[in-house]
Amino acid sequence: MNQDLLTRIRALEHQASFLEPAPLLRQQWNQETQLFADEFYDQLEDMPPYVTAENKGEGIKDYPFTETPKELSEILQVIQEHLVNISLNAASGFHFGYVPGGGIFPTALGDYIAAVLNEYAGIFFASPGAVRMENKLLRWMCQMIGYPATALGNLTSGGSIANLIAITTARDQKNIKAEMVKHSVIYLTRQIHHCVQKALRIAGLGEAIIRYIDMDASFKMDTIQLQQQIASDVSQGLNPFLLVGSAGTTDVGAIDPLAAMGTIAQQYDLWFHIDAAYGGFFMLVNDLHPQFRGIELSDSVAIDPHKGFFLSYGLGAILVKDVAALYQSHHYRANYMQDALGDFDELSPADLSPELTKHFRALRMWLPLHLYGLNPFRATLEEKVLLCRYFYEEVQKIGFEVGPFPELSIMIYRYVPSKGSANIFNEKLVKFLQVDGKVFASSTKIEDVFWIRMAVLSFRSHRKHVERCLQRLKEGVAKLMERDRQFS
């Protein structure tokens, strides 16, 4: 019996040892992967930012999992054929849609090392270095927005989770128990990112009263109406508890009047949360600082390094002014975690977010920050703002109407034809750009008006990319006009 057991263990050990490649094989895989990455980078500038392909990744669906191994070269080939180039190419500098991400190369190096080390990054006891790295990044961001030393936060997978953590914390700090939800009031504008409404629902606040406050012509919250609305809600015996502002809206990049909102929040004892997922890192540009005045009055801020810090997707952050509030909502004690208690110099991320085991995601930001230093990040951010302003000027010269002057690097524009529906015309124009595939733009609708959006945020977008966008627009308008003439 015992002999059988040992024989079986030996056999299994032999099979299991395949999970640890021999050094030579590891080297070969490293090289093949590196080659794959290099080829991608070599072709990137000539790759279309968007492809409307017949093949919608079918090959991935049909590629079977097997008991036996496959060659890495074959697997990479499947990725190349059925994934790369049949999608929105978010790595392209010609991507001006939605909120473009980044993908600076050292993010990949950080992820690679993080995956190799597999540090247990959620608990100080398990990996003091990884936790210090995360908390150092968070303190650096807290300092950037002007938070005091009591502030900390958490590195999340993105802005949506960051906003969710903030809203959960606000709910608990303001003591919104189930029976209170229906009488509790939240203040937003219609320009808030939809992940905030989603977070409210997930956090059990779906039945709370939401007051959508009007905006001025630049899509910023009207704080006079805000104040009146809160006063009226208080006088009716309701329970105002949460004010959410934007520092860079998705549609037009608008920054709400944060200072005035912060003052009102203090006056009525509301939790003041700011969604700076897109806009936050523009604070690194000195000239833009005044626009963020008042951000330090907030209780929490969501910010996305995978947008404004140009990292590859998978890194957001929540910053909370009083870390005790974040801790109260997110820590828990379990007997099997007792060894992790005791002395610690740093709060553990696991006590500050819903996650326990987490990706060692600090490294993907910490490494590029050291490798490049801050200067190129500041310059790139300023370049994006100026490129957007340039586009704002130039697109008017070719006959387009524009929305508000871009405060950051997002703006809206549309072509108003002499006859026919402008909405339909611009819808067709966006389609033209997408099918044409030379640049990618996305659209939005504000009060039933269809607008095309210009979002300059890819670190790869430079002047020539913007020029090509202008040129494609000119061509698109000419084509659509020609078609209209033919059919009228």
Ligand X SMILES: *Cc1c(COP(=O)(O)O)cnc(C)c1O
Q: Which residues bind ligand X (CB under 6 A)?
A: 99, 158-160, 193, 195, 248, 250, 275, 277-278, 304, 316
Strand 271-276 with 442-446, pairing: unpaired
Joined tokens for residue 406: 């871009």
Cβ–Cβ contacts within 10 Å for residue 202, how many? 14
∠ Cα 420 190 412 (to 5°): 45
Q: Shortest gap between Cβ of 193 and ligand X (angstroms)?
A: 3
Strand order in the sheet with 449-455: 400-402, 410-415, 449-455, 442-446
Q: Nearer to ligand X by C-beta: 193 or 359?
A: 193
Can you tell me the distance from the alpha carbon of 418 to that of 482, in angstroms, rounded to the nearest whole number? Answer: 13
Q: Nearer to ligand X by C-beta: 127 or 461?
A: 461
Q: Shortest gap between Cβ of 423 and ligand X (angstroms)?
A: 24
Q: Nearer to ligand X by C-beta: 113 or 202?
A: 202
What amino acid is encoded at 312 in this protein? S
Q: Nearer to ligand X by C-beta: 82 or 364?
A: 364
Q: Shortest gap between Cβ of 437 and ligand X (angstroms)?
A: 24
Q: Nearer to ligand X by C-beta: 114 or 244?
A: 244
Q: Shortest gap between Cβ of 449 and ligand X (angstroms)?
A: 21
Place of tokens 């595939």: 437
Q: Nearer to ligand X by C-beta: 171 or 193?
A: 193
Joined tokens for residue 241: 């508890």
Strand 316-320 with 400-402, pairing: unpaired
Can you tell me the distance from the alpha carbon of 270 to that of 258, in angstroms, rounded to the nearest whole number? Answer: 14
Query: Do residues 276 and 303 touch, judged by C-beta distance below 8 A?
Result: yes
Q: Nearer to ligand X by C-beta: 199 or 350?
A: 199
Place of tokens 């080829």: 39
Q: CA nearest 294: which of 189, 141, 146, 140? A: 146
Q: Shortest gap between Cβ of 312 and ligand X (angstroms)?
A: 12
Q: Shortest gap between Cβ of 243 and ligand X (angstroms)?
A: 16
Place of tokens 């508890």: 241
Q: Nearer to ligand X by C-beta: 200 or 480?
A: 200
Q: Shortest gap between Cβ of 144 and ligand X (angstroms)?
A: 17
Q: Which residue is nearest to ligand X (CB)?
A: 159
Contacts of 47 (CB under 8 A, 6+ apart): 85, 89, 92
Q: Each residue of 115-136: b (16+ CB within 10 Å) or e? A: eeeebbbbbbebbeebbebbbe
Can you tell me the distance from the alpha carbon of 445 to that of 451, in angstroms, rounded to the nearest whole number? Answer: 6
Q: Shortest gap between Cβ of 156 and ligand X (angstroms)?
A: 8
